[in-house]
Structure 1
Amino acid sequence: MFGFLQRRRLPAERRPKLGPDERVVAWAGTTGDNVLVATNHGLWLPGADERLGWHEIHKATWSGRQLAVIAAREVPVADGDYAVMDDLPPLAVTLLDPDRVPEQVRVRVNKSIAHTSHHPLEELTGVRGGVRVVGRRVPGVNGLRWTVRYDEGVDASAPGVAEHTAELVAWAKSGVGAVA
């Protein structure tokens, strides 16, 4: 009767193994009879065995046909109240029928960001470049996950950089407080 109100259904054989409290919010067909699935927790890329969490996506762009995603991975460092992130190579997926996927990606990546600030490092450490401090919401986790991303070319092991970064993260945490 109201066909325009009907929601597209993801074929059961294309449905990824969802986690507890995870639900599909949008999906799109891709090349090779694959699908990209957006859930309330993140993106299931075609052929992937694991979900890419919204908090792990540094940047996503939509060209009208291709969704390009730059995810980040945690770089092993000494103890701290934050994780150092490094961008992975961009992933591009052609969406044959994008439906609401680009909108969901934009909204959910943006909603995962509670705090972001960029700080130059040169004045206090002598290192050229800066660091971005980010507080991200992670589905199913109370509080924020704090990460830092150094500008390209910044030597994070240079004297004073780790100490100054820790101070910047502490400052950001104190300013966010109840917003988390």
Structure 2
Amino acid sequence: MKLFRRSPKLPPAMRPALEADERVLAWAHVGEAQDQALVATNRGLWLPDGRRLGWHEIHKAAWSGRELRITPAEVAHERNGYTVLVDAPVIGFLVLEPGELPDQVRTRVTRSVAYTTHHPLPPHGGVRVVGRRISGVDGLSWSVRYDAKTAVDAEPVIEVTDQVVAAARVATAPPS
């Protein structure tokens, strides 16, 4: 029995164009052909099409035991000091030999969230305020996600959202 088992090395043909301080944490073949891979790094998840989703750009990640389903964030609006995000279409990947990939994805997405709170908005609806860490960037990136049926463009909703984001920023600011 080996105490330390090394993971198989990522084939050079599947290695994405990493940044200078980016390192591979886990990877797994996608599909049955085994000519494509998902690659988790300290900066994000590289998809088989060559795009990288930063950990802060992933709303949800679900592992079924055979399929990794990623729900990326999509910017709906840019506001002063924060973005309004919505779910982009879910992307699913068949992963037959996952290794450490699902655990790394879950851990990294979860770790990127430094602050989260939900606020009800009158007359109905609500908003989730999220402060996330971005690898290589100081401070937090602020975003909001509105509940379904919230009047996101109504002036009173925008005003309350501005206030709750400002309060969150103050609450998480380092002491001066």
AA in 2 matched with 1:145: S
- Is 1:144 the counterpart of 2:145? The answer is no
Alignment match, 2:66: 65
User: Which digits, 9 at most, give the CA deviation of each residue in 1:105-158, with x for residues without a partner?
Assistant: 111001000000010001xxx3x2100000000001000000001112212111
Q: Structure 2, unaligned stretches of length 5 or more?
A: none
CA distance in 1, matches of 2:148, 2:117: 16
Which residue in the other structure is 2:21 paired with?
Answer: 21
- Relative to total residues, which structure has the larger helix share, 1 or 2? 1
- In the TM superposition, residue 4 of structure 1 has moved relative to its aligned partner by 4.9
Normalized against structure 1, the TM-score is what?
A: 0.90
State the alpha-carbon separation in 1 of the partners of residues 83 and 20 from structure 2: 25
Which deviates more, 153-162 or 113-122?
Answer: 153-162
Q: SS in structure 2 opposite 1:18?
A: coil
Quick check: 2:77–2:85 contact (8 Å CA) kept in 1?
no
1:3-152 alignment, distance < 5 Å: 4-31=4-31, 32=33, 33-47=35-49, 49-77=50-78, 79-122=79-122, 126=123, 128-152=124-148
CA 1:153–1:20 in structure 2 vs 1: closer, same or farther (change >3 Å)? farther
SS of 2:173 mapped into structure 1: helix
**Residue identity in the other structure for 2:9:** R
SS, match of residue 28 in structure 1: strand
Aligned length: 173
Please state how far the C-alpha of 1:14 moved relative to its aligned partner.
0.5
Deviation at 1:177, TM superposition (A): 2.1
- Contact 2:146-2:152 within 8 A present in 1 as well: yes
Unpaired runs of 5+ in structure 1?
none
Counterpart Cα distance in 2 of 1:20 and 1:131: 37
**Under a length normalisation based on structure 2, what TM-score does the superposition of the two structures give?**
0.92
- Specify the code of the residue in structure 2 equivalent to 1:37: V
Q: Indicate the percent of aligned positions where both proteins have the same amino acid.
A: 49
SS in 2 for 1:111: helix
Instruction: Could you list the structure 1 runs, at least 4 aligned residues long, displaced by more than 3 angstroms after superposition.
Output: none
